[in-house]
Structure 1
């Protein structure tokens, strides 16, 4: 299997003592990896390092074989990401927002913009401005901007936040279809256990800045009634040490 993301001995400590400690993860082509943990566990810190927004104290991340520390442009060339919030230009329409974002890439035409709007269920709102959108619709517009360039790796921080049930199902299906049919690799963080269970084929639990276990969702559900039961069991076991 082709290794797409390799996280090695990743550490970052803030002045308040919080952060991440010695994270090691291997993610393979077509994986939908769920980074599961409570708020404040360090998920966003890890993802900011992965995308070059902050530097680690120690360790490295390689994406598609390239180090984000020494070969950043090559590492990020085929990566699409949303960290924390999907930002938009409020004075532009949904279509115009994506046209603006398309300037970062080569060969993105109006047809591709409409295609990704259709994928995320926003084509009929293409001439509306995001100021009229719900939080979930804004998230979907952000995901559309990520998909514009057909990235090989997609990194999403809490992508289902604020979505209604229909929007969550829509985005979940998008992720699964891209992983299965195009081999797109997803790295998704969330504190919403049920969403990770329904979306991801592999799960890593981050707790107090440390990865305490990684397993396939199928294996987990063969041994536990739900991902929530597994999560509680692993956290309780970890707290004893």
Structure 2
């Protein structure tokens, strides 16, 4: 099994006592990893460190074998991500937005742009401007931009936020297809327990900045009626520290 993301003893504490403490994680090729925890548990902090937006107090993150801290460009060269909100240029069309993003990469032609618009069900809106889009459509455009360069790793912070049921199902299918067909590895944070259960094959629970447990969805559902039951029992077992 090829390790794609390695997180070792990652710590980042803020003055208010929030943050993450000593996180360890290994994610393998083709995994759809669900980083599950309530808002304020430290998920975004961890993901900002993983994508080089903030520096940790201590610890290390490697992506595809390269250290994010020491070899940032190499670590990020095969990574697509959306952290916090999917940004777009409101006055460019969906197509022009992706054209703009494609300049950061080599070898992305118009055919690839149409392909990702098709995958994210935006092809019929390709000449419309995102300022008219619903939150769900903006999210889809963000995903389209994140997968444009056929990255090996896609890091998504709350990608299902603001999507309606149909949008969630679409998004789930896009993620599963890419993991299966292109062996893309996904690292997805969410507080939506049910969606993580349906989307991810591996789940880590983050609570109060600490990793409580990491297991496969299959194993969890063998032992618990639902992911929610598992989550509650993990939190209880760890004494709501």
Residue 11, structure 1, aligned to residue 11, structure 2: yes
- Report the counterpart of residue 221 of structure 2 in structure 1: 221
2:198 — aligned with what?
A: 198
Shift of 1:226: 0.3
Match of 2:122 in 1: 122
Taking the TM superposition and a 5 Å limit, the aligned residue runs for 1:118-197 are: 118-197=118-197
How large is the Cα RMSD of the aligned pairs? 0.7
TM-score (norm 2): 0.99
Structure 1's consecutive aligned runs of 4 or more residues displaced over 4 angstroms after TM superposition are: none
Question: After superposition, where does 1:34-113 map in structure 2 within 5 Å?
Answer: 34-113=34-113
Offset, 1:182: 1.0
Give the whole-Å Cα distance in 2 for the aligned partners of 1:169 and 1:17.
37
Deviations 1:89-124 (A, max 9, x none): 000000011001111001111111111000000000
Q: Deviations over 1:43-67 (max 9, x none)?
A: 0000000000000000000000000
* SS of equivalent residue, structure 2 residue 91: coil
CA distance in 1, matches of 2:151, 2:124: 24
- In 1, the alpha carbon distance for the partners of 2:64 and 2:237 equals 34
Unaligned runs of 5+ in 1: none
Distance 1:81 1:170 in 2: 18
2:30 equivalent to 1:30: yes
Task: Give the Å deviation of 1:240.
Answer: 6.1
SS in 2 for 1:141: helix
Deviations 1:183-220 (A, max 9, x none): 10000000000000000000000000000011000000
Alpha-carbon separation, structure 2, partners of 1:165 and 1:17: 36
- What SS class does the counterpart of residue 104 from structure 1 fall into? coil
Please say which of residues 177-186 and 18-27 is displaced more in the overlay. Answer: 177-186
- 1: distance between equivalents of 2:64 and 2:93? 34
SS at match of 2:4: strand
Equivalent residue of 2:103, what SS?
Answer: helix
SS of 2:238's partner is helix
| Residue equivalent to 2:237 | 237
TM-score scaled by structure 1? 0.99
**Residues 16, 240 of structure 1: alpha-carbon distance in 2 compared, 3 angstrom cutoff:** closer
Task: Give ranges in structure 2 of 5+ residues lacking alignment.
Answer: none
